[in-house]
Structure 1
């Protein structure tokens, strides 16, 4: 046990201080920070589009103003010339001119360097406004109009088969399960590529430099193998602990921000669908998967004759992990 402990400490502390392991730990964090920053900037730059409305119908004007939201805002102007002057001053992103004679007709002038205008939403608003205009001409009441265009409600329930029984599952729960599976798969693949190569490098370097024969005269192959394996697993545990601390600290920091950039993303995630059994099975798959590939890397690393052949020896493992 003492000799295996010496091998464990040598592998653990040597790689803990290396720049390679530091990049293995910081690389995913840097990528996550970059993607999070891009997502935050996209939300920050998503400004409200301003559309100037020119029409002689007060009903159309009031309907369009009532349809304003965080994405598009409708502003009334007395003439097309005034609206165009406002657009030239970059106060508007578009000018919407609506004519009601002989039939309702609308034309849009959009500024190419302004905020994008959702024309699908605009057409829906125009259709709604036109419907109210026609209803007013036909002297239909609000109740009659609502009854005419009322849409039957459709209730949808997602279910899954569990031991011959139907179990209700929401769409958010399915998305959460798929998200956890994707994250778990990416973590396993990342750890396999990183630590399998590190394990093969440890054994292949010693064998290629002819130090292996000297080591085996003082220690058994089993003690050397398990010492290196425990050292690599300890490095993996440290990395996972760092990720856990960073995730917890990041979550607490986001909660303190006045405008959480991930609030819109979290609304589509149902954490209640992630059960304890799911987490335990995920951790079990993660541990068994990384352990299996690390052992395979150690076996292939022992087959090389020199250090230059380590990359070729670990290629089948990498391809198997990709599959």
Structure 2
């Protein structure tokens, strides 16, 4: 039975999901270490919303997205999509489910087959699932191109004949072909020029309303996540350290890491200032993470307890959860959107 909260239906539930990699080093005497790329993550995604996942490079957000798509096998945990556990499905059952879960990739060039014309790139999912052929297939491809803002005449061109933004539109058209319910957007604008990023974000918003889509939007840049998301989850060293409604989290961060991300984000208005602490230091080695709270080596508010005891992700007000022994008091804020 799917979870519902405030009349919202949970389309995806991630339960204690982990991905651990074995890393071997040494030539004569090999040693094996465990890299916890994703470590016991719990998340709920509600139907029709955009859940943003943000964090520095190496925090595990893309690995999490790949596990949802089953491109990376999980070490442990469960991924419930509309009540079905994707980690327990057979290959054939998973193939049928893939129709409802699609992905938009980070690099709009390497994610497209350079030998195929745009028509074949978008038509391939329809052919694979036996959903269209002949005249119907041509009409659907042309309709998808128009939906993402491209002329149907572009169907006979190759990916190298397009700009980065146009190639990403082709990738979005391919993701839409099977009429999915959930789309995982893995840093879909990070490889694009800033001037093009807003166009793609606006296109994703338009398509979400038109087709009733649910998004998981992964990015390391907080402004893009803030612009498109309804809720935001913040990840650090494989764990979710804070999650909540966008407005709440941006204006009143409860975790020091979230505060640092906000302070590091660019602000266009020179009159806007923030008293939040800017992140200092480097992300710890994930093969040898700090004891206790993994963020304590960079936290400006660190106390002795933080160095020993690992904080659990706990409720900290309505719709907000935070993994911190001493959550920040509400206050301050920086305008990243609107």
TM-score range, shorter chain: under 0.3
Q: What TM-score do the two structures reach when normalised by structure 1?
A: 0.17
Larger RCO (CA under 8 A, 6+ residues apart): 1
Higher helix share: 1
Greater C-alpha radius of gyration: 1
Larger % of strand: which?
2
